[in-house]
Amino acid sequence: MLGAHGASFINSCRVKYGDTFTLRLAGRSMTFLCAPSAICTFFTAPADVIAFRPAVELFTQRVFGLPSAQFFPQHYAILTSLRELLVPSELAHHAACLLGCMKADVQQHWPSAGKIELMAAIKRMLFGAAVTAIFGRPFLEAHGQQRLQDAFFAFEGGFELAASPVPHFLQPGFCRARRTLLDAFRASLKAGHFAHTVAGKLMERIDLPASILPNMLLAVFWASLANTIPAAFWSLAFLLLPENAHHLSEVLALLPGETSPPHSHSSDPAAAVDAALIQVACDRSSKLARCVAEATRLRAPGIDVRMAVSDILLPGHQPEQAGPSDPAATSARKPTNPAGCLDLTTSSSTGVSGGGPFHSPADQTNSPTSSRPSGPSDPSQVPTDPNPTGSSASERQLLVRKGQVLAVSPYEAHHDERMFGPHATAFDPERAGLQLGGGGVAGVGGLAGLVFGGGRYRCPGRYLAEMEVQQ
């Protein structure tokens, strides 16, 4: 919904309006939260305060064709089942499948010398490997990798517009691509191509009507590819920069040579090398893992969305001298607008309304609809709060009305020095992890930060995706 320059636009709004601002996008208002304390509450608030389903059901219905009444009662079971199928203990099995596919692609398509178009090569390699690992080789061979790949990238390129109110008949390319993919899933379901695959085991564990199983598989298909490919591209791109040569040298030192690794007693040298490569790919604490996490942090795609299902208070703009407090304690629902709170339902006629920097409750010179003092012209000058989840009696809180869509931009958050320390925009695999505070958020932390979402609806395929990129 924000287009190719969405990240820079969100940053410009934050610089101008502060840690909280509201945009009207495709007929819907969406309030972006940038303060660490508000982000923590966004991911940890109970479902009867901030909910996932009402914020995304229009997206899942319009993009994947999943009827809300049939899909969402099974949504959490789908997430739980995928987490169980893709647990770290299963990674070595999946890594062996991925390695075989990737080696075949390199031997067939990558030249031994000369230049290569990196993104195109990564798209082809990861598409074939990921689809084989999740959906099985019979599915890929039955419909042809190139045909499925072309349809997927046409679908993925149009899905944001497809989620908007723009009629689908004005998006023929997207509709053709979706129809091609759904027809492939229907045919393979009928032919039994998914037996003994991750996709097949998932369908055995859930209770969805047969009529929408192809649509559910399309959603899994998109989720397994859309972010992994750019993550792999940026991981390689950052490591290949001259200024990161020392990081690349450390990563290459982890890899085995073309013969058996040291101390290997295997009678099959090639198998020993493969085993060593799989071990490196599955190691989530290595220098390679940190480089992948750091690259992904710096180029985190997308936005996370939720909806307020009741009137609530969120921690607002942090005064520089804020004291400690529990952000969850400020999330209690309030039926009225308390003194000293900014009501986010009031917005300007320009389509963008600012929520800060906030003035103290006693300062009445700037109402929510008046012009506000702008933030620093340079994002790097945003003050760093050593206690990002702190609050004080003078802190201005945000009153969020029931029905308001809330959003967090991982890209913007990951370039915030309050959360990643000094020089947050630099590639530094040795930096400390995310400093979000608030008692922690499930699935959030370390160098990857918010890349995989957080809380109850965090990405169920995180470990597989990280291993796939490392491989």
Distance CA 352, CA 29 (A): 9
Distance CA 303, CA 413 (A): 11
Per the model's pLDDT, the better-predicted residue between 169 and 391 turns out to be 169
Q: Does residue 264 register a pLDDT over 60?
A: no
Question: Tell me: the pLDDT tens digits for 265-306?
Answer: 567 788 888 899 999 999 989 999 999 999 999 998 888 999
Give pLDDT, residue 126.
95
Per the model's pLDDT, the better-predicted residue between 316 and 229 turns out to be 229
What is the phi/psi pair of residue 182, to 5°?
-65, -40
Contact 323, 396 (CB under 8 A): no
Question: Tell me: the pLDDT tens digits for 386-425?
Answer: 333 444 444 567 888 999 999 999 999 999 999 898 999 9
Question: Tell me: the pLDDT tens digits for 175-226?
Answer: 999 999 999 999 999 999 999 999 999 999 999 999 999 999 999 999 999 8
Q: Does residue 356 register a pLDDT over 50?
A: no
Listed ranges 5-14, 351-360, 374-383; the one with the highest mean pLDDT: 5-14
Residue range 229-251: mean pLDDT, rounded? 96
Q: Does residue 431 register a pLDDT over 70?
A: yes
Residue with tokens 């969100």: 10
Per the model's pLDDT, the better-predicted residue between 113 and 453 turns out to be 453
Q: Does residue 348 register a pLDDT over 50?
A: no
Give pLDDT, residue 315.
76
Alpha helices, DSSP H, located in 164-318: 172-191, 198-205, 213-225, 228-240, 245-252, 269-282, 287-298
Annotated binding-site residues for heme read: 459
Least confident among 123-132, 257-266, 302-311, 326-335: 326-335
Give pLDDT, residue 375.
33
Q: Does residue 63 register a pLDDT over 70?
A: yes
Domains in the chain: ranges and CATH: 6-49+309-438 (no CATH), 55-308+441-471 (1.10.630.10)
Residue range 66-77: mean pLDDT, rounded? 94
For the chain, what is the mean pLDDT?
A: 81
Encoded amino acid at 359, one letter: H
Question: Tell me: the pLDDT tens digits for 318-333?
Answer: 433 333 333 333 333 3
Give pLDDT, residue 358.
30
Annotated binding-site residues read: 459
Categorize the per-residue pLDDT at 153 as very low, low, confident or very high, splitting at 50, 70 and 90: very high
Task: Please name the helix (run of DSSP H) or strand (run of DSSP E) that holds residue 143, with its range, or none.
Answer: helix 137-143
Question: Tell me: the pLDDT tens digits for 4-54?
Answer: 577 889 999 999 998 999 998 767 789 999 998 899 889 989 999 999 999
Task: Please name the helix (run of DSSP H) or strand (run of DSSP E) that holds residue 70, with its range, or none.
Answer: helix 68-71
Comparing CA positions, the residue from 182, 144, 146 lying closest to residue 63 is 182
Give pLDDT, residue 314.
84
| Cα–Cα separations (whole angstroms), residue 289 to 161, 193, 281, 292, 469 | 34, 33, 8, 5, 9
Q: Does residue 353 register a pLDDT over 60?
A: no
Give pLDDT, residue 355.
46
